[in-house]
Amino acid sequence: MKPVISETLIHIFLKNLEALGASWELEANPIAARLALLRYLQELKRPEILAWRPEALPLPGLAEAMAGIGLTLIPTQRRNLNPNLLVGLTSADAALADTGSLVLHLQEGRSWLPGLITLHHVALLPLDRLFPDMAAWRRAWMRTRPQDLASTLIITGPSRADDIELHPHRGMFGPGRQHVILYHASGQT
């Protein structure tokens, strides 16, 4: 299921992310990614983050590290959502280089809501989850996790919409800002 990651593939993905209006950081390993995430979340000045359960996020010790700097992961509870939670944190189960898209699978403790209803979506992406395109991703997942295809969400950049006069607006129907923290899961550079 793991695609071969090349610098060219990473470059294509980052170029397409930027074209969509998303921001990103590329880190050498999970420790650097965790530090980058903590710094980024601190800069947002929002102490509570709507998020997947900590064990569903690919950075070990994240909840404890966040608590150490005054940040709290708030697990998604559909019947008890706080409208003041403006930042959402998820991981991406896959990413598609040719479109800059993130793929999320709905599972226990991993709601789509942090990536859909907050004003600012932050996503973690281990680079071994980067695929050239949807066809390559689908082939890989059909071999190993076909049951997940039925509950898949593909997010392609921040929310964009045009009003009746064709003036563009961000964040009307989803997060107006998207930030992706990519990292080498095994620590290679």
CATH code at position 172: 3.40.50.10420
Instruction: Say if 117 falls within a structural domain.
Output: yes
The CA distance from 48 to 183, in Å, is 24
> How many domains is the chain partitioned into structurally?
1
Instruction: Say if 189 falls within a structural domain.
Output: no
Instruction: Say if 65 falls within a structural domain.
Output: yes
Instruction: Say if 162 falls within a structural domain.
Output: yes
DSSP string spanning 76-106? --GGG--TT--EEEEE-SEEETTTTEEEEE-
> What does the pLDDT profile of the chain (189 residues) look like in tens digits?
455 578 999 999 999 999 999 999 999 999 999 999 999 999 999 999 999 999 999 999 999 999 999 999 998 876 667 777 899 999 999 999 999 999 999 888 788 888 888 889 999 999 999 999 999 999 998 888 777 777 899 999 887 777 778 777 776 666 889 999 999 988 554
Question: In 3D, which of 177, 187, 186, 170 has the Cα closest to residue 2?
Answer: 186
Q: Which residue range(s) make up the domain with 127?
A: 7-183
DSSP code, position 150: G
SS percent in the chain: helix, strand, coil, step 5: 35, 30, 35
Instruction: Say if 2 falls within a structural domain.
Output: no
161 Cβ contact list (under 8 Å, min separation 6): 168, 169, 172, 173
Instruction: Say if 98 falls within a structural domain.
Output: yes
The CA radius of gyration of the chain, in Å to the nearest whole number, is 16
Say if residues 149 and 141 touch (Cβ distance below 8 Å): yes
Residue 51 confidence (pLDDT): 92
Instruction: Say if 188 falls within a structural domain.
Output: no
